[in-house]
Amino acid sequence: MPLFGQFDRKVCVQVGVVGVIVLMALVCVVQLLSMSSGDLDTEMAHETRMRRQVKIDYPSLSLPTYIRDMAPLPDVRNISMQIKVKTGFRTFDTKSGKQHWVYVRETVPLEYDNETDSKQDILLFHGARFSSKTWEDLGTMNLLSALGYRVVAVDIPGFGRSPRVEVTDRVEFVRDLIPEFGLNWPVLVTPSMSGSYALPFVFRAEPPHITALVTLAPVFTAEFSRQQYKNFMIPTLAIYGENDLDIGLSGITELSYMGNKYAYMIPDAGHAFYISKTRMFHQILYNFLEALPSNYI
């Protein structure tokens, strides 16, 4: 009899402890259920507003009005800078779960201990008739890295060596590519066709995590309002060819409304002016990059 009595008391104690735990869990559930969806929506909206209220003071740059007044392009033959070149396919996943496989070329100054020590990261897109190899062939990548910049050139899906796949969300593609490739607030260079990737990204991503934008007669400029252009204060270099009376002329008309832009026309040049007037293009790009203050973001 004593044995069974002790057993009963133990059972009672255990049941009591379990009951207290269950009761506490029920109280927590009731409290969560009592919070209305309106309260949750309000809290989420407040957090969103707080994120959007962050203001970045983008600088106005000191750039000459005319190309002839710009600083000459340095002779890289006099610069003893060794460059590391990396090429190959890279994969990255977007936040929506889609995987992309793209071909990438990268040049980095060997003078620095690691990639984050470079003066600035530069992301190069390309036009429809070209690829990342264009920037290699023109010497753009080697020139910029000799001057201290880390340069990443990407073959857009379906061009160059990147496989053809449907990119349904181009804002997401560019937004997620940048951190996946270790790019830290890069300068984004977008010629012609690649404007259909770059411009939606810079206008619709919040924020677009770039230091500056360089447009080379991009498409897609008519997709945004004049007010959107006026509100866009990220430093922008807009270059176009004098004889580009189609995409270049219509594009610069829209881009001229940008609030913090620096526009230059390359004389006697067509749509792909960076091919026919490479040295002048390099000079303008060099002056723009050198005018950007470091770490102002």
* Low-confidence winner among 80-84, 85-89, 105-109, 211-215 (lowest mean pLDDT): 80-84
Q: How far apart are CA 154 and CA 104, in angstroms?
A: 5
Model pLDDT, residue 81: 74
User: Is the bond into 207 cis (omega within 30 degrees of 0)?
Assistant: yes
Q: How far apart are CA 215 and CA 59, in angstroms?
A: 18
Q: Is 211 exposed, middle or buried (0-12, 13-18, 19+ CB in 10 A)?
A: buried
Model pLDDT, residue 17: 42
pLDDT (mean) for 22-45:
38
pLDDT (mean) for 124-137:
97
pLDDT surpasses 50 at 32: no
Mean pLDDT of all residues in the chain?
A: 82
Here the tokens at position 199 are 């411009």
Model pLDDT, residue 102: 96
Burial 221-239 (b: 16+ CB within 10 A, else e): beebeeeebeebbbbbbbb
pLDDT (mean) for 245-251:
94
Model pLDDT, residue 183: 94
pLDDT surpasses 90 at 59: no
Model pLDDT, residue 58: 80
The DSSP line for 198-262 is HHHHHHHSSS---SEEEEES-S-GGGS-HHHHHH--S-EEEEEETT-TTHHHHHHHHHTT-TTEE
pLDDT (mean) for 146-159:
95
Q: Which helix (H) or strand (E) holds 63?
A: none
Q: How far is CA 273 from CA 138, 150, 238, 249, in A?
A: 12, 23, 12, 13
**Catalytic residue IDs:** 192, 244, 271
Percentage of the chain beyond pLDDT 70 is 77
* Low-confidence winner among 33-37, 119-123, 129-133, 268-272 (lowest mean pLDDT): 33-37
* Low-confidence winner among 20-34, 185-199, 212-226 (lowest mean pLDDT): 20-34
Q: How far apart are CA 186 and CA 179, in angstroms?
A: 10
pLDDT surpasses 60 at 101: yes
Q: How far apart are CA 216 and CA 275, in angstroms?
A: 11
Model pLDDT, residue 293: 81
Q: Is 166 exposed, middle or buried (0-12, 13-18, 19+ CB in 10 A)?
A: exposed
Q: Which pLDDT tens digit goes with each residue over 1-18?
A: 443 344 344 444 444 444
Q: Which pLDDT tens digit goes with each residue over 189-206?
A: 999 999 999 999 999 998
pLDDT (mean) for 214-235:
96
Here the tokens at position 96 are 């929506």
CATH match of 50-291 with 3.40.50.1820? yes
Model pLDDT, residue 56: 61
